[in-house]
Structure formats: structure tokens, C-alpha cells
Amino acid sequence: MKGKCLFNYTNAMEKTIGNDGVLSTDIEHIKNEIEESYNRLFKKYENKELGFMDLIYQKDLTTYNELKKYSKDFEYIIIIGMGGSILGAQMVYEAIKGIYYNEHTTNKKVYFLDNSDPEKTFEVLNLVDLEKTLVFAISKSGNTAETIANFLIVRDRLKNNIKNYVKNIVIVANDGMLREMAEKEGYMLFDVPKNVGGRFSVLSAVGLAPLSCMGINIEMLLNGARDMDKLCKNKDIFKNPALMNAVIHYILYNKGKTVAVLMPYIERLHKFGMWYRQLWGESLGKDGKGQTPVVSVGAKDQHSQLQLYLEGPKDKIITFLRVNKFKNDLIIKNSNYLSGHNLSELLLSEQEGTEASLTSRNVPNVSIVIDELNEYTLGKLIYLYEMQTAFMGELLKINAFNQPAVEDGKRITRELLRGKSIEELTGFKSYDKNYIIEM
């Protein structure tokens, strides 16, 4: 299982789109800045601060293979988590298995509880046979409020309906309430390396433990990431796709391109876009800096957002994700110019047309072209974006691996649930009725 990938940045350069692109002298002018950013990042790696770069070289997958065998007796999987603790597994699952995989009657059904929405949790619990359900609760800190809340609800259902319910639960946590419960009650338990942040954790137990139970080839996922790592360690920017893409985004950000749009032309990569949105936004949105990540899906969002991209504010850089070979295809018949063509030909022609239209209006765009979507090429794509984000953080001179503002929101939430008021916690008074309109 292999697959070629290409990074094409022709349409982001001055040669193609004039002054709206990256000038031939721009990269040369910040050559020292690029070198310093590269060196700072790899110094952090040498100091064991960046565990995500080591995850891809884990050799012993025995534990995951044993978990895979154990899971064969279950017909349903529920994964409970928030943000980086669940998006990675969700993204890989949908990219490899497809959007409607659960609808095939013979397949193991997989459900993701990624919010504290009571109706969603209620519906999932009504869809599964608890006796035949394997539950993953994932939180590195072990204290994520939404994850604990959903887990306690699901655990109580299991406890009230199954005699030996412990066998139905797997915990992935380092500390906190979840780990304490796992150790006290005897649940299967996985650790997360302390130097790996949530949104960079898909290739740790956070992603690999549940994915191993879903029929995903995790070894090929890691192989793809390893092969990408060889490119990402190259100091020559013209041979390092992650560094080059980070530099292009950085230069254009400084020219007012404050919105970064990711536009996959395949439905299976929609969740990849959601994963990217968290990775790029939460890693880089600090100290008044950062690009706003937006996800569009081609070709359908040509009919909702493309008008804005073409004639709206010139504040965007677009990245196309294109897959050349589809697992399944359909032929169009009984039409004029469409007749005899495959559906994939229409989709890819629409991508080419959108790319040409944006380029003609000097909207900078780059393309990542994948020969075919499988675990190997997805592993490459995951690691490319993790490294691109890390390089961009160094170029912006920010810490791409924390999220201080989010932590403050979590603190306020906990105190509200303990009975304190918003005014006590923040100094803000309650809503002014003069500014409320009843509808």
C-alpha cells in the first residue's frame, strides 16, 4: 500500500498571480528567519519537548493488535472525547472507511460522542446494544468536563444493564478523574506521552487504540508519517513541503491573508478539514496573531462560498486537497457534454475550474494532490500538517503547543457548575434587557 503525493504551490507565487503572491525575493529576504525557526523547532525536539515527532517511530504495536483481537466480540464502538482527543480518530475513520460505513449491516458500528449535547448522547445510547458495545473514554488530562459527563452517563447505563460491565470500557488518560476511575474499577487503560498535546495526538494511543478496533491499518498510517518525516527534516526549503507551505502561509499572512481555507474535493476528507481547523486555529491563534482556518468541501461549496473567495475581501489563501483515484466510481449516461464521463471526472474538472478561476483573479492557492486515499497517504497528510503547524508557530514566534485562553474558559465553566455567577468570575454584569429583542 503506497501512494504518491504532490505539493504544488505554483499559484501562490508572483510569477503566476503577480503582487498578490509570494515574490521571488520574499523567501530570500527571510532566509535567516526561516533557518532560525527550523533550528528552534528541532532544538525543542532534541530537548524531548515535541513527542508527536517520536510517536511515528513506535515499533511495538502488540498492545494495539491484542486490543483489535479483543474487540472482535463487540458489534458497537462508542468513542467519548473532545477536540484533539476524538477528532483525529474520527477523521481517520471517515477518510478510510467512508461516511456511510455504519449503514452496512455487517460492519461494526462506530459512534462518536464529541459534545455535551444531551440529545446526541441519548440517541447514540438508543442505537446500541450495550452488552455488545465497547466504550472508549479519551482525555489526556482525565478531567475534561464534557468527556467525564458523557462517560459517567454511559458507564451508569452499562453498570445497570451488564453484570461484568468493566470488560466493556477502555480508558485513555494520563491523570485526573478518568485515570483514577480506571485504576480503581479495573478498566483497560492506555497512557499518552506527557510531551504530546491533544491536537497532535492522533498517532498516539488517543487515535491508535480506537482505530485498531475499526479495521484501520495503523502500521501503514505510521509508515506514511515516517516517510513524510524524512522530507520534513530536510533543511532545504525547496525539498521540504511542510516548511515551504508554512513559509508561504507566513509570507502571505504578513501581506494580509488572514484566512486559510482548506478545500478537499472528496467527502471522505471533510473531517480531515475539521481536524485541520482545530490544529491550525488552536495552535496559532495567540498573542493577537494567527490565520482563521475555514473548511470548504468541493464541489458543493462552490455553490455557497466560492463567490466570496472570488470577489470578496482579498484576505484568503486556498489549499486544495485532491485525490486522483477513487475507490468507487460511476458513469454518467444520457446527457450531452457529461455523457460517457465518470462522476470523478466531473468532480476533478470542477476542482480544476475553481483553481483556474481563483488564479485568474490573483487569489493565492496551493494544491496537495494524492494519488489515492489510503492509510499510507493519510499518514503522510497528517504528519505534513502537524509539521507545517509547528514550523508556522516558530515563524510567528509563538508557542504552538498550548491553549491558555481555552483553559480559562474551562475554569469558568467549572466554577459556574459549582454555583458561582458570571459576575463573580469575570466582573461582567448580567445581560442588559435594553439590548435584547424578543422574537
- pLDDT tens by residue, 179-191: 999 999 999 999 9
pLDDT at position 105, please? 77
The type of residue at 201 is S
Q: What average pLDDT is seen over the chain? A: 94
| Cβ contacts of 187-193, under 8 Å, gap ≥ 24 | 188/67, 190/63, 192/140, 193/51, 193/54, 193/55
Q: Evaluate if residue 416 carries a pLDDT over 80.
A: no
pLDDT at position 1, please? 60
User: Is the bond leading into 299 cis (omega within 30 degrees of zero)?
Assistant: yes
Pick the CATH number of 5-43+221-396 from 3.30.70.360, 3.30.365.10, 3.10.20.600, 3.40.50.10490: 3.40.50.10490
- From residue 399, how far is each of 84, 160, 291 by CA, in Å? 17, 45, 15
pLDDT at position 405, please? 75
DSSP characters for 83-99?
GGGTHHHHHHHHHHH-T
Residues 253-281: tens digit of each pLDDT: 999 999 999 999 999 999 999 999 999 99
This prediction has a pTM of 0.94
Residues 40-97: tens digit of each pLDDT: 999 999 999 999 999 999 988 999 999 999 999 999 999 999 999 999 999 999 999 9
Domain boundaries for CATH 3.40.50.10490 within the chain: 5-43+221-396, 55-219
Measured from the Cβ of residue 427, the count of other Cβ atoms closer than 10 Å reads 7
**Candidates 132, 341, 410, 415; catalytic one:** 410
50 in Cβ contact with 390 (< 8 Å):
yes
Q: Evaluate if residue 420 carries a pLDDT over 90.
A: no
**Candidates 184, 303, 333, 429; catalytic one:** 303
Residue 282 annotated to the active site:
yes
Higher pLDDT, 426 or 174: 174
Q: What average pLDDT does the segment 366-374 reach?
A: 97
- Which ranges of 47-86 would DSSP assign to H, the alpha helix? 52-55, 62-71
| Superfamily of domain 55-219 in the CATH hierarchy | Glucose-6-phosphate isomerase like protein; domain 1 (3.40.50.10490)
Residue 303 annotated to the active site:
yes
Residues 3-35: tens digit of each pLDDT: 889 999 999 999 999 999 999 899 999 999 999
**Candidates 94, 282, 375, 386; catalytic one:** 282
Residue 270 annotated to the active site:
no
Q: What average pLDDT does the segment 342-363 reach?
A: 96
